[in-house]
Amino acid sequence: MKKKLDASRLTAIIFVLLAIIYFYFYLLTPRLIPNFLKVGIIRHPINILLMGTDMTFDSVTQKALPKINARTDTLALIHVDPIRGKIYLLSIPRDTLADIPGYWPTKINAANVYGGPDLIKQTVTNLTGVQIDYFLQIRPTGLIKMVDLIGGVNIDVEKDMRYVDRAQKLDINLKAGQQKLSGKKAHEFIRFRHDAFGDIGRVERQQKFFRALVQSLKKPSNIIKAPFAIVIALQEINTDLPLNQTIRLLNFSRMARIESMLASGEARDLPVVGSVWIIDKNNLKEIIHEHF
Amino acid sequence: MSIFKTMLKWHWIEGLASFLIAGLGQVFLGESKKGLIIILTVYLATPFALLSALAISGYLFLPILGICSVLIMGVWLYSIWNALTYRA
């Protein structure tokens, strides 16, 4: 006997169909889902200080000392805006001259060595006027593991890069061209700064890498790897961001558009401190006002 | 040769339907109840479990994510295989 298609049955079928459609959109093209229907993401705007630290090696054993507060080679202020569906990334060059509370004005990358994440958060707040909610400190090994886990990142390396620094155990050897970089090669790409553009060129490469990394994270195949990514994050990332917020942030990054920026400034040589980057305060204010 | 003979008897359309939407092949084959259970498991129950776990705690979310990933993949593969090799 053929069953009648009554209203409740029809409603159930429509509901199930909508659930199936939503499932595929969420998995494959999450950006097309309207904001109010997005689930499992950050709900309120937050500011995060992203720090990439270099490694300190024991002078006797030559082994890495991951627990030491190292200099911040990468420093970026991230504004996560779920309302606009965007992530704004303001890079702060490591040689930026900053007033570190309790110390003489010096390069901002020293703040983490002097007083850890709290001091660098305070220093960046003083510099930008932005209240920082959380910090996220990633070690080079964490970055390498993460990139390897997602199967590498596609990047157009703009030129051949060659640099060796035995003290830092750094051996950069990259050829120009579009390529998929492994974790180790990606680390070399974002560390390189030995050209005419120095640290500013490196900051631009770091922004390029960040965009490529988020692009790779969006691949549906990488969703299956999410549990492993979270385990790496727990081991290699030092943060005060609660775990459920980290998961929501990772998920949101699949759906968000990334805008990266850098305040203009000029390079100067100062006595004692050496070569520094002086940020154009007016330009910085404009960027903060517009995006943060 | 016998394996090819067996494969010729498989329900390829229904298998493809189950590949695209887990459980759909079963619905096509008249196994509506089984198909519906698969659809509800993959598209409603597991996502709901994941979101509930995330709402409670990030540490609860991790094992639930592992279990749900394995469950979805398992049920999906079963749905495809079951549709392909279906015998009335």
Q: Which of B19, B24, B54, B68 to mutate to test the interface with A (most CBs of A within 10 A)?
A: B54
Q: Which of residues 60-79 of B touch A (CB under 8 A)?
A: 61-62, 65-66, 69
Which among B40, B50, B59 has CB closest to A243?
Answer: B59
Q: What pLDDT, on the 0 to 100 scale, is given for residue A64?
A: 59
How far A17 CA lies from chain B's nearest CA (Å)?
Answer: 10
Higher pLDDT, A246 or B15: B15
The whole-number average pLDDT for the span B31-60 is 92
Q: What pLDDT, on the 0 to 100 scale, is given for residue B38?
A: 95
A137-161 confidence digits (pLDDT tens): 988 888 899 999 988 999 999 888 8
| Mean pLDDT estimate for chain B | 90
Closest CA to A89 of A103, A102, A76: A76
How far B85 CA lies from chain A's nearest CA (Å)?
Answer: 24
Asked if pLDDT for residue B88 goes beyond 70, the answer is no
Domain ranges of chain B: 2-84
Q: What pLDDT, on the 0 to 100 scale, is given for residue A133?
A: 95
Q: Which of A3, A14, A16, A134 to mutate to test the interface with B (most CBs of B within 10 A)?
A: A16
| Chain A residues with CB-CB distance to B59 below 8 A | 243
Burial A194-218 (b: 16+ CB within 10 A, else e): eeeeebbbbbebbbbbbbbbbebbb
Structure tokens at A191: 């560390």
Q: What ipTM describes this predicted complex?
A: 0.85
* Cβ pair A227:B44 closer than 8 A: no
Is the pTM higher than 0.90? The answer reads no
Could you give the 3-state DSSP secondary structure of residue A134? strand
**How many residue pairs from chains A and B have C-beta atoms closer than 8 A?**
41
Q: What pLDDT, on the 0 to 100 scale, is given for residue B1?
A: 63
User: CA–CA separation, A121 vs A135, rounded Å?
Assistant: 7
Low-confidence ranges of chain A (pLDDT < 70): 1-5, 55-68, 168
| Chain A residues with CB-CB distance to B21 below 8 A | 20
User: CA–CA separation, A236 vs A13, rounded Å?
Assistant: 46
The whole-number average pLDDT for the span B13-35 is 94
Q: What pLDDT, on the 0 to 100 scale, is given for residue A1?
A: 52
